Structure 1
Amino acid sequence: MKLRYRSPSGGGTLELDDAATVSQLLAALRTSTGFTDVIVKYGWPPRALNGTDQASATLQSLGLQRESLTVVPDESAASVAETRAAENIADAYAREAATKGVKDQNISVPLPENNSRLVLRVMPDDNSCLFTAVGGALRGLEPHHASGTQPSGDYTPAALRRLVVEHILSQPDKFTEVVLEMAPERYCARMQQPDVWGGAIELGILSELFRVEICAVDVKTGSVFRYGEGLGYELRCVLVYSNIHYDRIAEIFVEGQEEMDFDVTRWPVSSADGSSTPMGDYVLVRAQELCRKLKDEHHYYTDTSDFVVMCNQCGWVGQGQKALAKHSLETGHTEISEIEDTT
């Protein structure tokens, strides 16, 4: 029996006996992919093999001889610990970048179309930066289609996390285990923890709930990731994404203004008469300009896939998030410095 599979490390084929069992398949995949443990998905919609209950079942009895399998590493306790360690250390780089002066310099660019300036509002590095950044742009708005206790209009990270979780649980057909890459109940339990990061799923949900287009400008590439685009939303807010951290873009009318209560954080997606360029488009262009300034002048981003780091405690040098997490777990060392590319 020949089986095809695909995995994060690439595709491949396996030659197994016609009477092979699920247990034998899993063992062969672990050997072939190099993963300590694996989750195997098959069929449509994709469902996972149960290595415990189905261990002795033959592949033919499950019809797997006709399937192309998807293989992913199992999220074991060790891999969760590695990811958390890497996230915590990587987040320290965002703090280091901020302490180099970005937070205190009130980084801004002119917005001549409105005789004002766009400024970077740096969010706290507490693993809830996405929710803090978005929350500050949603002040005064009310969520749509949300159940449970409603926030008052002042949106803390905890309040936004609750709204996201309620939304996920209210639409089980949409937010399935396949979409969330884990059981929805588990995903929601994790998302309510203050040290768990939010991402694209959360931005999409918040955009839908508040009917606001959310744009995140990537510092390294200048690309704009849009959530809620083309859905007829009237307003847009803009975030800055540095790969491990989210900040907020605000418009100010007094240069050097530090008081955020007077910030403008939402702009029209389209012009009132449909003939002129909407202010939201001007803001996006200037936000990209601000991100180029952050990249070129302040190196305000971290590429966790290829950064080179050194351990200040033992002198170890490694590259990438995975190597960094492994070193931290094995040694307990956390005093890490990034070796910046000077070429």
Structure 2
Amino acid sequence: MEGIISRRVIPSDNSCLFNAVGYVMDHDKTKAPELRKVIAATVASDPGKYSEAFLGKTNEGYCAWILDSEKWGGAIELSILADYYGREIAAYDIQTTRCDLYGQDRKYAERVMLIYDGLHYDALVLSPFEGAPEEFDQTIFSVHNDRTVGPVEGIALNFVRDQQRKRRFTDTANFTLRCGACQIGLKGQKEAVEHAQATGHVNFQEYR
């Protein structure tokens, strides 16, 4: 295996999860509208599986919500996209260095990798050398019989640990935010969510 693990930055526009998946699957950072539709169609087609208890919203309400370009994706969306593409999605969390694997129960033959900083998803790729153009990125890796992707897995984990050491993550329990609409200061994701629900404001800036 030749090359280094690189973090390809995806724009912060509330659709980073979808565009990061689009990049590692299709080398396309503009797939969010299409992938939101895929998720809504999947959820709408199976109201038994995607119940209110599972989604935290009614099936219909969730479908309208996920089609809104301002809304963020998470575990539910990653598991649906793993099945849609027929590949495992490994999402590495910088703060904990944990890897959440989606689609692993399906025994897919390939895997892609994302990295998550507490608020934002970027793509993890194998690049031939530091500074190599994105067209040389390898984003899809074969899953071996032992259900790993071989040496790439260890190199990716080392990269994530290095990002953790450099504190390239947002501590969502304790970070401070300011509401862009009313300038009120908030602490942590919980307060931000409560403020958004109470006011409808969704434009938050992190500040230190």
Q: TM-score, normalised by structure 1?
A: 0.53
Secondary structure (helix, strand or coil) at the match of 1:230 reads helix
Q: CA deviation at 1:306?
A: 1.7
Deviations 1:294-341 (A, max 9, x none): 2222x2111121224689xxx9865323445678988x9x785543xx
Q: Classify the secondary structure of the residue corresponding to 1:225.
A: strand
Q: Distance in 1 between matches of 2:119 and 2:48?
A: 30
Does residue 125 (structure 1) correspond to residue 12 (structure 2)? The answer is yes
Structure 2: which amino acid aligns with 1:293?
A: D
Q: Secondary structure at the match of 1:123?
A: coil
Change in CA separation of 1:231 and 1:194 when aligned onto 2, cut-off 3 Å: same
Partner of 1:320: 188
Q: Distance in 2 between matches of 1:162 and 1:309?
A: 31
Corresponding residue to 1:306 among 174, 178, 186: 174
> Structure 2: which 5+ runs fail to align?
none
* Contact 2:88–2:103, Cα closer than 8 Å, also in 1: yes
Correspondence for 2:156: 287
Look up the equivalent residue of 2:138 and give its one-letter code. V
SS at match of 1:222: coil
Residue 136 (structure 2) pairs with residue 262 (structure 1): yes
- State the match for 1:57 in structure 2: none
Contact 2:4 2:130 in 1 (8 A): yes
In structure 2, relative to structure 1, the CA distance for the partners of 1:263 and 1:163 (3 Å cut) is same
For the structure 1 residues 301 and 177, does the alpha-carbon distance in structure 2 shift closer, same or farther, using more than 3 Å as the test?
A: same
Distance 2:147 2:57 in 1: 40
Contact (CA 8 Å) 1:238, 1:284: kept in 2 or not? no
Mapped to 2, the partners of 1:280 and 1:236 lie a distance apart of: 8
Provide Cα deviations, 1:47-97, integer angstroms capped at 9, x if missing partner.
Answer: xxxxxxxxxxxxxxxxxxxxxxxxxxxxxxxxxxxxxxxxxxxxxxxxxxx
Partner amino acid, structure 1, of 2:26: R
Change (3 A) 1:158 1:327: closer
- Cα offset for 1:173? 1.2
1:239-287 C-alpha deviation (Å, 9 max, x unpaired)? 0011111010111113211x222211010111xxx5xx78723222211
Q: Pairwise mapping of residues 66-105 of structure 1 onto structure 2 (< 5 A)?
A: none
Q: 1:158 to 1:309 in 2, by over 3 A?
A: closer
Q: Is the contact made by 1:308 and 1:317 (CA closer than 8 Å) also made in structure 2?
A: yes
The CA distance in 2 between the partners of 1:190 and 1:335, in whole Å, is 19
CA deviation map 1:184-222 (0-9, x unaligned): 111101111111111101100011111100000110111
Question: What residue in structure 2 maps to residue 25 of structure 1?
Answer: none
Q: Which runs of 5+ in 1 are unaligned?
A: 1-113, 141-152
Structure 2 residue identity aligned to 1:307: F
Identity %: 32
Task: Name the CA shift for 1:326/1:202 in 2 (closer, same or farther; >3 Å).
Answer: closer
Give the aligned partner of residue 102 of structure 2: 227
Question: Take 1:154 and 1:292, find their aligned partners in 2: how far apart are those partners?
Answer: 25
Contact 2:20 2:29 in 1 (8 A): no
Report the structure number with the largest CA radius of gyration.
Answer: 1
| Aligned 1:1-12 pairs, distance under 5 A | none
Distance of aligned partners of 1:282 and 1:230 in 2 relative to their CA distance in 1, 3 Å threshold: farther
Matched residue SS, 2:54: helix
Question: How big is the shift at 1:230?
Answer: 3.3
2:104 match: secondary structure: coil
Deviations 1:9-46 (A, max 9, x none): xxxxxxxxxxxxxxxxxxxxxxxxxxxxxxxxxxxxxx
Q: CA deviation at 1:176?
A: 0.9
Q: How many residues align?
A: 204
Q: Contact between 2:114 and 2:123, CA under 8 Å: does it hold in 1?
A: yes
SS at match of 2:111: strand
| SS of residue paired to 1:238 | strand
TM-score of the two chains, using structure 2 as the length reference: 0.85
